[in-house]
Chain A
Amino acid sequence: DVKVTQSSRYLVKRTGEKVFLECVQDMDHENMFWYRQDPGLGLRLIYFSYDVKMKEKGDIPEGYSVSREKKERFSLILESASTNQTSMYLCASRGTSLTGELFFGEGSRLTVL
């Protein structure tokens, strides 16, 4: 059974704190993604990585950074959390085929107070 695992299901942080969201996949996928899911806005791509140490900005990268030191792990970092970053964060992975399925984690719900 393929798996994308996000380390935290629920987090509550204070404004200005540094936040790490971790994601691990066990499918040996080259591509990994971080999306933000908000009602009425759908899924918006924050960053994606197509190889170890390689990354590309998505549509809403401001206020976020990422790290991919190993193929199976992709981390999302909020350097200084703000209230407008309260959201559901989804990690996903897929292989190199353009028609390949995207596999999602269960999501991390972040609340910034």
Chain B
Amino acid sequence: AQRVTQPEKLLSVFKGAPVELKCNYSYSGSPELFWYVQYSRQRLQLLLRHISRESIKGFTADLNKGETSFHLKKPFAQEEDSAMYYCALSYNQGGKLIFGQGTELSVKP
């Protein structure tokens, strides 16, 4: 069955430190992967998608099919990056999208 796993519930770093939020997926086909973010008192929104190969707000994510991972990285964390981050997998049949458990990122000053 399709599954998305985010092993860390909480990640706490200091401002300026590197950040890596882990995401592993289980899917036998060709996956479409995303990272969504929820800032305090805001609705969930798209951060980035693997097909775009873009950097958004300094974040990047690389799809590693061998390790079935899609980790989110940023070299220098900022306080405004503090939020809840969700990894998501889209697959067939009308674009069903499933999410991981989420990782709360806390960036301390």
Which of A's residues lie within 8 Å of B, judged by CB? 30-31, 33, 35, 40-45, 48, 50, 56, 58-59, 90, 92, 94-102, 104-107
Q: Is B45 an interface residue (CB 8 A)?
A: yes
Q: Which residue of A lies closest to B44 (CB)?
A: A104
| Residue interface bits B79-101, CB-to-A below 8 A is 1, else 0 | 00000001010111111111111
User: Are B94's CB and A50's CB within 8 A?
Assistant: yes
Collect the chain A residues with CB atoms within 8 Å of residue B99's CB. Answer: 35, 42-45
User: Are A104's CB and B43's CB within 8 A?
Assistant: yes
Shortest Cβ distance from residue A46 to the other chain B in the assembled complex, whole angstroms: 12
Collect the chain B residues with CB atoms within 8 Å of residue A35's CB. Answer: 99
Shortest Cβ distance from residue B40 to the other chain A in the assembled complex, whole angstroms: 13
Q: Is B60 an interface residue (CB 8 A)?
A: no
Collect the chain A residues with CB atoms within 8 Å of residue B88's CB. Answer: 102
Shortest Cβ distance from residue A98 to the other chain B in the assembled complex, whole angstroms: 5
Q: Which residue of B lies closest to A30 (CB)?
A: B94
Known pairs A56-B94, A100-B95; list 12 more (Cβ under 8 Å): A43-B99, A43-B102, A44-B99, A48-B96, A50-B93, A90-B44, A94-B95, A94-B97, A95-B95, A99-B49, A102-B36, A107-B43
User: Are A42's CB and B95's CB within 8 A?
Assistant: no
User: Are B100's CB and A42's CB within 8 A?
Assistant: yes
Q: Which residue of B lies closest to A29 (CB)?
A: B95
A-B contact pairs, 11 of them (CB 8 A): A42-B6, A42-B100, A43-B44, A58-B96, A92-B44, A95-B95, A96-B94, A96-B95, A98-B91, A102-B36, A107-B43
Contact check: which of B46, B91, B93, B94 meets A102 at CB < 8 Å? B46
User: Are B86's CB and A98's CB within 8 A?
Assistant: no
Contact check: which of A44, A56, A90 meets B96 at CB < 8 Å? A56
